[in-house]
Structure 1
Amino acid sequence: MRQPRCGLEDPFNQRTLKYLLLGRWRKKHLKFRILNLPSTLPAHTAREALLQAFQYWSDVTPLTFQEVHAGWADIRLSFHGRQSLYCSKDFDGPGRVLAHADIPELGSVHFDEDELWTERTYRGVNLRIIAAHELGHALGLGHSRYTQALMAPVYAGYRPHFKLHPDDVAGIQALYGKKSPGIGDEEEEMETSTVPQVPTEPSPMPDPCSGEVDAMMLGPRGKTYAFKGNYVWTVTDSGLGPLFQVSALWEGLPGNLDAAVYSPRTQWIHFFKGNKVWRYINFRMSPGFPKILSGVEPNLDAALYWPRNKKVFLFKGSGYWQWDELARNDLSRYPKPIKGLFTGVPDQPSAAISWRDGCVYFFKDKQYWGLNWQLRVEKGYPRDIAYNWMHCRPHTPDTTPSGGDTSPSARGTDH
């Protein structure tokens, strides 16, 4: 009992399950707010650790999390010392009780400000792992009997290759079910365990509801990723996922990307910036990358995979290149005019994506264009990215943007 531990008591249940269930949220899209950060870590490092803690749970359940910076939030994270006017449980200084959390649907998660909160080191207390543990409580999990489980009551120390224990996964899925195959399943694990070095001067955190993006990608397991500056987030029908630094998911990848594209044909993800290209399989960089981009102009605008001919299309200005990943390419005949193939789209798109229904979408500034199977822009476009694609709500209550359709396509999509 002298070991560093969670402040929640340990009344294990007496059934076959090794975890204790404390309750559940009646919804699967939860808003969270980070009220303050620890003084022992740079702000961007601490924020990254907290966001990754949410990702462990969203990877194996249908739960989605959206950060808000003002107003009400379902889950509220804060740091305070021995006593706080906003917490009924006092902390005890360094060591012993590290953090505690309320059960659903109360939503408070408190961390002891007197601890030495750290990341990527065996010193002090790892913020990412403790935050993931306390979020488990906030989502309805009690303590596990397995000492190696995340939900064990005693802190086992920093683990550089940390991942959820099968008991953690079984417990959370008993509450919320498994991840939908359309978005990804419980077997997929975003490899955030080898947290890479973070840029010392990250760009400001973007607002996903501004509508502007640097790149868009329909990635592995059908997840849609949106990129802006040094950050990336996922988009689903139920809302936006938390923001991550690009390098926190794809180690070695810079921010401010020009284009991104995933190929189901090869399972490769290609990222483009300047005159270089990076290749990843899931979240691991392929040997020999990055490489110099050859045969194509640098500083691309957008890229997409076209399932109809299993080729990658690269866009720059008013032209495009068609690229076969598994063959020698004669690119001397390119670029060709974008409008010669895709009718009605703007020049210099900021992003492009092909959808599972065979349609193609182009993004520029705060609008996007949807093309049908004849590769012509459909009636009703362009549309607003923030409202119709990101599912952001209007600032004025009880209003609907023109068109009234809050899905990127009139067919209804589940990005």
Structure 2
Amino acid sequence: LSCTFPVFFSQLFLEKYGYFSEPGPGTHSPAEFTEALRDFQRVTHLPPSGVLDAPTLRQMALPRCGTDDGESRAAGPRRASPARRRRRTAQHGGRWYKRHLRYRVVNWPSYLPQHEVRLAVRAAFELWSNVSSLLFWEAQDGPADIRLTFFHGDHNDGLNNAFDGPGGALAHAFFPRRGEAHFDSAERWSLHSGKGRNLFIVVAHEVGHTLGLEHSPVKSALMSPYYKKLSKDFVLSWDDILAVQNLYGKPSKGSAIQLPGKVFTHFQDWNTDLYGRDRQQRSLSTYYCHSFFDAITTDGDHNLYIFKGSHYWVVSESGNASDPRPLQPRWPGLPAGIDACAWSQLSGKFYFFKGGRCWRYAGSKLEAGFPRKCSALGLPRHPDTALYFQQLRRLVLFKGPKYFVVGEEPLGAEPYYPRSLRDWAGLPPGTAGALTHRDGSVYFFRDDQYWKFDQAKLQVVASGKWAAQLAWMGCWDANSEQVLF
């Protein structure tokens, strides 16, 4: 029994997820079983031995989407047989023939706050609308194109789609134009990046299916069949974006917006004004207000520059935020997801840092010799924060519990550095950015918090939540006196 059970389990698994060309468990020859096993091993990036070994069984036991692996099997190095291709084409994919789709959250786990669930679902849909021509609207009751529902066990989708309790299949969805995504109520769902299955990441995956996307063979893709924890570095992969744009085209206005996963890890921080009718344009211009950004700096005209992913925002001295702008036209050659940025009051140049490299721009022109390996000049790799510090007439880079003072000409760390962060009394490690404000204070930021540093006293004199308390950050609507989404 101990030998035959894994084989029987794996046959049922391969049958459920579409690895046999003809249905019917127990009717497959050893050669068919070996070939199906090889297919599965290719899709999951295991050695395609065709042998039911321990790594293969472990992979089969991992939590995943309950929709079968369809097209992802054909995308590997081996071509699928015509019979298999016909079956996938007949049963899978499809697309919606309209651009505006309504969705409805029919029910949700009672232990999750309703408004947070709705925010997570909306964010999951926006992940796709940000990179395609689609637009989504929530229907709180009545008919909808796409319905999201939680079920226990067998829920009349056929025994092959019955939910299996915690682990295993977490959810499944149907291709257009059925418009259904089902989630296993027996899972422990969460809206945070800690314990439990992250609802946002699973909904975003299942929404992909309802739009017509197959499972992806690309391991890092959201549409990969296996559950992945939501990390702050998560973004849609190139494979996800190409797949949805192949069906629906690029965004009708502007360029695709990639939001990093750290925007979505704490939905309790999001403001429920998201559902106001005038929020469509506001949400774009204030996405950085969701508690996280990559870097921040300010120029000589007191304009703020706020960086997130492949875009940046400019907030004027009056607190008006621009729409998100792509990095490339403004700073050609600059990569997405920078670690730190500072504008130098001494030279009028922008400095950017990512990994061990740095970039220096005069206006929009990348200076000769850049990017260069700044870690070779004594600068830290992946700095947390960069700042031009007027008292020293130098750049300061912060990394963990230490800071470095950096000269510009020639570029390099000054002697006797790094020093302990204790010199900056009251400042926590791991800040995301800093700037010198026109009031003379230096403001440091981390997550949704800020620290106000007095340059004369050399200590932190105030702290709080920057989106709500610092009107000049562009997140404060003076008319309604509410924090914008």
Q: Aligned pair in 2 of structure 1 residues 54, 285: CA closer, same or farther (>3 Å)? A: farther
Q: 2:120 corresponds to which letter in structure 1?
A: A
Counting only pairs closer than 5 Å after superposition, residues 2-401 of structure 1 correspond to structure 2 as: 2-12=61-71, 14=74, 22-84=93-155, 89-180=161-252, 183-186=253-256, 188-191=257-260, 193-195=262-264, 197-198=266-267, 206=275, 208=277, 225-226=281-282, 232=283, 250-252=289-291, 267-269=313-315, 282=324, 287=435, 288=443, 290=466, 300-301=478-479
- 1:173 aligns to what SS in structure 2? helix
Q: Is the 8 A contact 2:115 2:272 kept in 1?
A: no
Unaligned runs of 5+ in 1: 217-223, 227-231, 235-245, 254-260, 303-315, 317-349, 351-415
Q: 1:185 corresponds to which letter in structure 2?
A: S
- Cα distance in 2 between the residues matched to 1:60 and 1:269: 24
Q: Aligned pair in 2 of structure 1 residues 132, 142: CA closer, same or farther (>3 Å)? A: same
Q: Aligned pair in 2 of structure 1 residues 202, 293: CA closer, same or farther (>3 Å)? A: closer
Q: Is the 8 A contact 1:278 1:285 kept in 2?
A: no
- Cα distance in 2 between the residues matched to 1:31 and 1:93: 30
Which range moved further: 132-141 or 81-90? 81-90
Q: Deviations 1:62-102 (Å, cap 9, x if unpaired)?
A: 00001111211000011111133578732111100000001
Percent identity, aligned pairs only, is 32
- Length, aligned pairs only: 255
Q: Is the 8 A contact 2:101 2:134 kept in 1?
A: yes
Deviation at 1:43, TM superposition (A): 2.1
- Cα distance in 2 between the residues matched to 1:53 and 1:196: 12
Number of the residue aligned with 2:373: none
Q: Deviations 1:158-180 (Å, cap 9, x if unpaired)?
A: 32321111111111111111222
Higher relative contact order (CA 8 A, sep 6+): 1
- Cα distance in 1 between the residues matched to 2:77 and 2:103: 29
- 1:129 aligns to what SS in structure 2? helix
Q: 2:180 corresponds to which letter in structure 1?
A: S
Unaligned runs of 5+ in 2: 1-59, 79-87, 293-302, 306-311, 326-431, 436-442, 444-449, 451-465
TM-score (norm 1): 0.52
Deviation at 1:300, TM superposition (A): 3.8
Q: 1:5 corresponds to which letter in structure 2?
A: R
TM-score (norm 2): 0.45
Number of the residue aligned with 2:402: none
Q: Aligned pair in 2 of structure 1 residues 249, 81: CA closer, same or farther (>3 Å)? A: farther
- Cα distance in 2 between the residues matched to 1:169 and 1:200: 27
Q: 1:31 corresponds to which letter in structure 2?
A: R
- Cα distance in 2 between the residues matched to 1:87 and 1:278: 54
Q: Aligned pair in 2 of structure 1 residues 93, 271: CA closer, same or farther (>3 Å)? A: farther
